[in-house]
Amino acid sequence: MKIAAFQMTRSEVTVAQFEPCVLAGVCRRPRQDHAWCTWSRRHQQPQLPVNCLDWSQAMTYARWVKAALPTEAQWEYAARAAGQDIRYPWGQAEPTCEHTVMKGCHKRPQPVCSKPKGHTPQGICDMAGNVWEWTADHYETGYQTMTSDGAARRSKTHRRVRRGGCFNSAVDHLRNRNRAYYLKTKRYPLGFRLVSPSK
C-alpha cells in the first residue's frame, strides 16, 4: 500500500478549537450529560479534547476548517511512527501512566499532549488513550478490503472505525493494531483529530 503524503494535527481537536464552530452555528454542541464529557469544562480547561460527539459532528467540523478525518490507513501509519513495526505509538514499552491516559490512571480525559513519554517520534500525542478517535472509514472486518492507496473504505454499514483507546481502556485497546467500531450516532467517549494533504 502507498499512502499519499499528508499532515496530521499533533493533538486531538480541543474544546477551545471546536467552540468557534458551535458559536458560528455550523456545529452542534457536544453532549455534556456525563462526568467525562468535556464540553462543560471548556472554559476551565480549554485544552481538553472535545468528546461526546458523533461521527457526523466530527465530519462537519473537519469540513468547516477545510480538513478531513484521517482514514484508518493514515491513522495507523501515524500511530506506527511513519509505518514502523511497533506495538505502541512510542515504541515497544508497555504502557504506564507516564505514557498515556488509560484505565487505572485517570477517570476522565486529560488535556491534550499531557503525556510526553507517549508521543510518537514525530511528536504526535495521545494516539493511545485519552479519547477514542473517529476515522473516515466505514468498518469492514480485517485489512483485506483496504484500498491500495489508503483511501477511506465505504460501505452501506452505519458502523464507523474508531482507533486509539481512551481514558478507561485496558492495555490491549491501546495497541496500534487494535481496531473497533461504533455506530456513527454513538457519542461518548469519542473525539477526533484532523489531516490534510501535504503541500
Whether residue 142 is predicted with pLDDT greater than 80 in this model: the reply is no
Q: By the 8 A CB rule, do 198 and 7 touch?
A: yes
> How many angstroms separate the CA atoms of 89 and 117, rounded?
10
Is the separation of the CB atoms in 177 and 163 below 8 Å?
A: no
Q: Which stretches of the chain are assigned E, i.e. beta strand?
A: 6-8, 132-138, 159-163, 180-183, 190-191, 195-197
146 pLDDT above the threshold of 90: no
Residue 141, pLDDT score: 76
This prediction's pTM:
0.93
pLDDT of residue 72: 93
Residue type, 71: T
CA dist., res. 78 & res. 72, Å (int): 10
pLDDT grade for 168, boundaries at 50, 70 and 90? very high
**pLDDT at residue number 9:** 97
Query: What 3-state class would DSSP assign to 67?
Result: coil
- Mean pLDDT for 152-174 is 88
Q: What architecture is domain 9-199?
A: Alpha-Beta Complex (3.90)
Cell 491500495, located at residue: 148
What are the E-state strand segments in 26-166?
132-138, 159-163
- DSSP structure class, residue 48: S
Tell me the pLDDT tens digit for each residue of 79-128: 999 989 999 999 999 999 999 999 999 999 999 999 999 999 999 999 99
